[in-house]
A = this chain, B = another copy of it.
Amino acid sequence: GFAKVDHHRPIRTGMPEVIYCEGKTTEQVAKIFNSLAASGVNVLATRANAEHRQAIFAAEPRSVEHVAARCVTLKQNDLAPRPGRIGIVCAGTSDLPVAEEARVTAELMGNQVDLVADVGVAGLHRLLSQHHRLQEASVLIVCAGMEGALPSVVGGLVGVPVIAVPTSVGYGASFGGLAALLGMLNSCSPNIAVVNIDNGFGAAYVATLMNRAY
């Protein structure tokens, strides 16, 4: 068939496969969703447009839609609680969809999440006044578009790993998120690693793997 769902993945990596909806037909997405649901795991579909989301809901009425995050989830298992908390920080209101994708992913994967919105570096006091929330996180996800400076500043304030997510927010010389991406890759704060532009899902996935007991 058109898809070989990786049912073996939970055993190999501890996490089920996730459905990336872009470029798939609604039929394909719905079928893969059903196949994963039937295997008993928690299911997540990302980058799902309205048609994808409707098709999934028709195929699996227990599924839950997350409009801002463009995701659909099906929670079938309660995962063992993870030890720490994932802090998600976003620079501006326009970065919220990416932050929401990260939040939905992280919560489905069993994490406690704290989302701090609209604390861009042009008004530093907003970030500094949330310093205690940054301190309580065991790993941070920082989403920012335009110049993407927020991860560097946050990185200098904390002693935990920072997953930086460039967003495509901006115009002109932001070149669809390239400016933010390059900025984050060149950060002078050493505790930063970067994922793809707008990839809230990947950031949450990596953060989840860090949020574990030994």
Contacts and interface: CB of A to CB of B under 8 A. Distances in A.
Interface string A149-188: 1001101111111010010111111111111111111111
Interface stretch (A16-24, A55-63, A72-80): A16-24
A62 to B, nearest CB: 23
Contact of A125 (B8, B122, B187): B8
Contacts of A91: 188
Nearest to A173: B185
Contacts of A136: none
A48 interface: no
Contacts of A146: 186-188
A50 interface: no
6 contacts: A4-B117, A20-B94, A147-B186, A171-B197, A172-B185, A172-B199
